[in-house]
Amino acid sequence: MQQTNRLRPFFENITFDRDDNELVLNFGPQHPSAHGQLRLMLHLQQEQIVKAHPDIGYLHRGMEKMAENMIYNEFMPTTDRMDYIASSSNNYGFALAVEKLIGLEVPRRAKVIRMMLLEINRLMSHLFWLATTALDIGAMTVFLYAFREREYLMDLVEDYCGARLTHAAIRIGGVPLDIPDNFLGDLKKFLDKLPENIKDYEDLLDQNRIWKMRMQGVGVIPTDMALSWGCTGPMLRASGVQWDIRKEEPYELYDEVDFDIPWSDKGDNYARYKIYMAEMRESAKILYQTIDMYNETVKNNETELMAHAPKYISAPKLDIMTQNYSLMQHFVLVTQGMRPPVGEVYVPTESPKGELGYFIRSEGGPYPYRLKLRAPSFWHTGILTDLLPGHYIPDVVSIIGTTNIVFGEVDR
């Protein structure tokens, strides 16, 4: 640490220990392929890593502390800033946790819209993952292609809620808006083209010699290591566990849609890559079905978007503007906040990165007494401690790439 001689040039990036010929390399926190603020201290023998020590906390904003001092609805936009690549899935996890705490049932149309948003977010996140990982490994073209498609999805979400990155598109008790007129058509247009696009990426990468050399057999995570480190999502499914919360502990209407869970027992980077690609196809499959489900709600005239629970959820705008009691209740809910019952709940959801869980302890007040955010990337970063030793410097980049970590979520 730079203490005694302040402001003297100090080369903290590289240290040579002459006795054991071990090189300590400081990777990040500003390294372009560290995907945010990851600092890795790597002990090297020649080019081989013998010890890795991930250092996090450069993006720590104390969200759990913030949550303890905000009313429940106030915290919703803050969740956007966790996994900012797929922010609706964070909103959703929080909304679902509070709904479970209160015991709310969300109207069917809201559920369908939520599922649409979740799967669009999954596609956005996976496309972003593909683009950045390919770019890290040197495939610039894939980056441009994948971002083109992601841009289309961001426009779709912008049509829905007006924001592109931090959506705050889901409320506790439902969704704030119905989908706009052209939304389903645009979504369908995108979905019809998506298989072609995915095939384009795969044509560029699947048999690419460089891609295969960087991916196959690199970063192998055995099943027991993945379980022990709390890996979830594609990281776990690539290591031979077919576990997807959408399927195993279904929430929303995931038990009504038909989709598969891609998995592999290889556990290497390439397996993870294949799983991401397959998951994009599955998401498209789900989205097609949600379009039909939405049309069904239109046919059945199910127009409600927010749950009816006057103690916790404000009435629709029309009621607030026309009925005195709704206005009073809305005023109380906005100024004082809802007061969920005393108790605690842990609700896991399958975010694009893995298991995103919210633990809420409520003391019956308008502020949560304790809120713990279980972000998947936190452990996917931790596993680098055990995963990197034995690998070489260039593998670090591809392994960080396929772990798909986002630092808004790691540091929170």
Partner 1 sequence: MRRYTPKDDVQKKPYYTDRFWVAPQVPKTDVADDEVFAADLAAIKKQFKVLDAYIQVGQMIVYIRPEDNYGVLELLRDECGYTQLSELSAIDWLAQKGQFEVFYQMLSMGKRKRLRVKMFIDENQAVNSVEKLFRSADWSEREMYDMFGIKLNNHPFPKRILMPDDWEGWPLRKTYPLQGDEFAAWYEVDKIFGKEARDVIGPELRDPAMVDRYDTKRFARLGHEVPYGAEFKEETPETPLGYQEEEGVFMIEKFDENKSVVISDRDR
User: Which residues of the chain form contacts with partner 1 (CB under 8 A)?
Assistant: 6-7, 56-57, 60, 62, 64-65, 68-69, 100-101, 103, 225, 227-230, 232, 241, 243, 248-249, 336-337, 339, 341-348, 355, 357, 359, 361-367, 369-370, 372, 374, 378-379, 382-383, 385-386, 411
User: Do 195 and 285 touch, CB atoms closer than 8 A?
Assistant: no
Residue 137 in tokens:
């490994």
For partner 1, give the closer residue by CB, 83 or 149. Answer: 83
- Compute the least distance from the CB of residue 219 to partner 1, in Å: 16
Question: Which residue in this structure is represented by tokens 């260039």?
Answer: 394
d(CA 344, CA 361): 4
Per-position b or e across 166-195, b if 16+ CB within 10 A of its CB: bbbbbbbbbbbeebeeebbebbeebbeebe
For partner 1, give the closer residue by CB, 341 or 390. Answer: 341
- What would the DSSP string read from start to end of 99-140? HHHHT----HHHHHHHHHHHHHHHHHHHHHHHHHHHHHHT-H
d(CA 180, CA 232): 34
Q: Which residue from 189, 280, 196 is spatially nearest to 234, judged by alpha carbons?
A: 280
- Compute the least distance from the CB of residue 367 to partner 1, in Å: 6
- Compute the least distance from the CB of residue 408 to partner 1, in Å: 13
Looking at residue 79, its amino acid is: T
Whether the link from the prior residue into 29 is cis, omega within 30° of 0, is yes
- Compute the least distance from the CB of residue 337 to partner 1, in Å: 8
For partner 1, give the closer residue by CB, 357 or 401. Answer: 357
- C-beta atoms surrounding 5 within 10 Å: 8
Query: Any residues with CB less than 8 A from the CB of 344 and at least 6 apart, and which?
Result: 101, 359, 360, 361, 362
d(CA 93, CA 79): 9
Alpha-carbon dihedral 319, 325, 329, 334, rounded to 10 degrees: 60
